[in-house]
Structure 1
Amino acid sequence: MEIIKIGMADLGIAFPPDRLRTTGLGSCVGVVLFDETKKIAGMAHVMLPDSSLGKTADLNIGKYADTAIPKLIADMEAAGAFTRNIIAKLAGGAQMFAFMSGNDTMRIGPRNVEACKEMLHSARIRIVAEDTGGNCGRTIEMDATTGILQIRTVNQGIKEV
């Protein structure tokens, strides 16, 4: 068994018996997709909601919800998954800092979660589990054999969904 590390603004897929892991989910969202019939798992570490926020010509597809999720779905389909069989689980999207102003640009975590949900909805992928929000960082690990997502939250222990 190999643990495939997914970095910030990165994505990847895994097959049994391997696992996918990402760390440092604060306001970022870990989007995990799983085709239970084909046993293909995918994970994206989404940093920002929308690629229009990019300021350079070099677009990092894994960084944004509107580009990472379609790319992850396409990679899984290329590996043999069927979109109709894919389910999703989300973790992260915390509001890591308290701000006094109601400025929407400071709500990166909640905006990331909303953008990921919109992209999954438009792809007709059902979200079956979610551990989002709060103000603590998370590390997640997905088992490509079982589809179980293990979520480690700072000061709150481990849970599985």
Structure 2
Amino acid sequence: MSLLVVNISDMKISTNPEDVIVTYSLGSCLGVTAYDPKKRIGGLIHCLLARASTSPKRAQQNPYMFVNTGVAMMVRKLAMKGADIKRLEFKAAGGANMRNEDTFLTGQKNYEALLRLMERNEIKLKASDVGGSIPRTIFLHLDTGKVVMKSLGRMKEL
């Protein structure tokens, strides 16, 4: 088994069923997985902010920083590796309000941006665990497509 780590504003994809892709400590950031169960190809992105329009220069330098550009780019790259876009299963975690005084509602905006993107493309999220005020770590197992979330010492499948 090989562990591929996704950092903040980063994305990894794999075609190796022995790989597990992980991103740690999702707070207000949003982690999104996409998986083709027939080809066993998947990806995981860790988005910092909702929309690229808030910082076009940063979006050009790193589209993975933003939900609307990063998730779309991840899907394109998965298709280039042989995934069927119509078969992709999407799951999301994070989008928390880590500080009570978070007037920017970053986590909520990140999740809302994902939902808008999915709706525009007529795609449904298969599962999600978002909001609240807890950090989350998610693991995408390429052999099965299983997404496991770890938070506060507990594990659960999404």
Return the TM-score normalized by structure 2: 0.93
1:29-64 alpha-carbon deviations (Å, 9 max, x no partner): 100001111111111101100011227465311100
Is 1:83 aligned with 2:85?
yes
Name the structure 2 match of 1:24.
Answer: 25
- Report the residue type matching 1:24 in the other structure: S
RMSD across aligned positions (CA): 1.5
Q: For structure 2, list consecutive stretches of 5 or more residues without a partner in the other structure.
A: none
Q: How many residues align?
A: 156
Alignment partner of 2:61: what SS? coil
Name the structure 2 match of 1:95.
Answer: 97
Aligned mate of 1:71, from 59, 70, 73 = 73
Runs of 4 or more, structure 1, over 6 Å off, are none
- Report the residue type matching 1:93 in the other structure: G
Name the structure 2 match of 1:159.
Answer: 156
Aligned mate of 2:63, from 61, 66, 81 = 61
Q: CA deviation at 1:68?
A: 0.2
> In the aligned structure 2, how far is the partner of 1:55 from the partner of 1:78?
25
Return the TM-score normalized by structure 1: 0.91
Conserved? CA contact 1:22–1:140, under 8 Å: yes
Q: CA deviation at 1:17?
A: 1.4
Aligned mate of 2:107, from 81, 105, 109 = 109
Is 1:45 aligned with 2:42?
no
Aligned mate of 2:123, from 118, 122, 125 = 125
Is 1:143 aligned with 2:144?
no
Q: CA deviation at 1:122?
A: 2.2
Q: CA deviation at 1:74?
A: 0.5
Q: CA deviation at 1:99?
A: 2.0
Q: For structure 1, list consecutive stretches of 5 or more residues without a partner in the other structure.
A: none
Alignment partner of 1:72: what SS? helix
Percentage of identical aligned residues: 29
> In the aligned structure 1, how far is the partner of 2:149 from the partner of 2:125?
16
Q: CA deviation at 1:95?
A: 0.5
Q: CA deviation at 1:142?
A: 0.5
Name the structure 2 match of 1:35.
Answer: 36
1:101-143 alpha-carbon deviations (Å, 9 max, x no partner): xx4xx10001100101211222333211110011011111100
